[in-house]
Structure 1
Amino acid sequence: MAPSTLSLLILSLLIFLQKANSNKITCHNPCLRNKLEVRFPFGFDNNRCSYPGFNLSCNDLQNQIILNLPNAGNFTVQNINYRSQTITITDPQNCLPKKFMDSSFDLSGSPFIPGHYNRSFTFLNCSSNSTTTVSGLWRIDCLSNENFTVVAMLTTNYESFLYMPAPSCTELKKRVFVPVLRSRWSDSETKLKWNEPYCRRCEEDGGTCGFKGDTGLTIECKGRRSNGPLPRSAKYGIVLGAGIPGLLCIVGIGSYLFGRLKEYSGGNQPTTEFSTAIAPQPSVVITGLDAPTIESYPKTQLGDSGRLPKPNDNTCPICLSEYQPKDTLRTIPNCSHYFHANCIDEWLKMNATCPLCRNSPDGSSVMTPSTPLSSSSSSLSTPMP
């Protein structure tokens, strides 16, 4: 790559990173000692860090994160569940029922709704001993003392309570709507939820919500792993598609290793039958003749006239040279073929047959067994009588 091209790519990357960093808003968290995870849609500053209505503050003295509800007051944030879009709050003064009774827990003006079903309660101030025999009343410890007891009961049961021969009780407040689970609330905390902005699907996919662009309230999901969970049928298909070939591969490898192990074990313990089968068998070969036998074959010396036993045969079949006067010829019995004595003698030392007709003189051949450890040069020959 040319240096100019490389420099251009580096410059483009730096410009892109600078632009990306310029669009990123750093959100300040003043509650550094509080370990609660605070992120979009919540934030501590009235900027692009938080969605409208989700602004939080920090109580430095008690290290508490505070949520302000316009018509209900301040509450301490205990937990935020971004997947279920719920927030758990409590009263900073540790008397949540007093908050309910003073403000009727009015959530208007905020983006939150009760996390539990709203039930109507009536608050009563009774003597210290008045509630010992009456069922259906729930004592509120943070509003009670040794002289009187503050209790709450479902408003639907209040009319029946008035006609009961009950001890003296004074109505403090009627029809207070409280978000409670089942038939009562927790004195320490309650739960709220929000529907907008909707980020539940994004959170389930492993992403986080944030504003899209520098203006407006449009949000986007960032860092999402996928478009959503796979259908169960697709998961089964993946398992079967990967599992069956894998199982077959394991079976094939196991069979191969077992065969090799069996072959190796069998090779270390040869059987008698196998040894007999591969043992070399003796074979019968025809070797050459010994010197006395060769010398017993008739020899003829040509005279000065060069007259041959057979006038038409004037060439030695072995050396292909013409016979000359004074040459010594040797004749092989039975077939009467003749050759130069020197030529046929060397031939017969290695072969017991006539070079022309391949016939062996009667009684001249010797049959000997041959093994891989023996050679024709060491074979025994039986001389002709």
Structure 2
Amino acid sequence: MASFQSCFFFFIFIWIFLPQIASSTTICKTSSCGGSQSPPVRFPFRLKGYQPKSCGYPGFDLSCNNQSQTILTLPYSGDFVVEGIDYLGQSIYISDPNHCFPKRFLDNFNLSNSPFQFEAPGNFTFFNCSSNATMMYLYWPIYCLSGDDYKVLVTSTFYTDILPPPASCRMISTALLPFLQSQPVQLIWDVPNCQGCAGSGGDCARENDSSLEVGCFNIPSNHNNGGLPRSVKYGVAIGVGIPGIVCIIGLTCYLCGLVRVYSRRRHPNTELSSISITPQRTMFATGLDGPTIESYPKTLLGESRRLPKPNDNTCPICLSEYQPKEELRTIPDCNHYFHANCVDEWLKMNATCPLCRNSPDGSVLVTPSASSSSSSLSTVSII
């Protein structure tokens, strides 16, 4: 009973305190660079120098410049100003600090080794045209790249086949880019996926400092429709399931013990009554002793192998035909013949004729002793 109570209280402890233990991940405070246009920075981003590494996800480091602007540094393309972050849509909006993003594209803009990508990019072609080139539909001027005696135009590569550029234009470069007329430029990310957590109003964060698994924490009660973060679900399943199974097994064993005790009290004399049954005495015949067997007549078979009965030329025990000079023994009461060796071994174990099953003179009937557990025999009668 004490073990059952211990299991019960352990079960209650796990149920109450495990969710709090599972959700003890450190949630970093939202930070910013302090500028009027600085976006709030929280997971998966972190501000280097202001937040520890555990506050962010690899590849999402941001920094602040001396103008209190939030800066994203791409491994192969340099620094860009962060204009805004959409945590629900998992998008970040960046611009060129020198206000000429197309020039960055012409300088081999590259998103390699970063978690970001363009949303719906397309192939665009840049043209260097003379200053007096006629402006054409679907060709957009890039003023930050143009000069007094030339202008730079850009268009979708698809349109160049439909509407060729002016004759005074020459192609500069072709690249896979977002729509350049849209400023600032939008980048998106897929991993880590915190959209569901952001939609519920919770805090998305890493499970622990050594893992890249993320969970959702501190979900407001008005958004938590019975759902729990995955880490909490795992913790509850393990912490409650295993002790629960152990307690069920212990309770089952305890109940089985009660049933056995109750059964013994209801039937106290069952085992004793089964032991007190006295077995019936049985009588059976045992083999003959040596002198009795030797008293039976022997016959030395001659060359003719002739016996009183015509059918007695085969030993009924070994089924072999009698041969000259073989010794045969006869059982007097029934006058049946056998090889002496065969019938001697038979009579030592059986007090009956092997052929007719009659008990010859000299056999004894015995019975097991009821007063002892040994196998001793006592003679009842002599036939």
TM-score range, shorter chain: 0.3 to 0.5
Structure of greater Rg: 1
TM-score (norm 2): 0.48
Larger relative CO (CA 8 A, sep 6+): 1 or 2?
2
- Scaled by the length of structure 1, the TM-score of the pair is 0.48
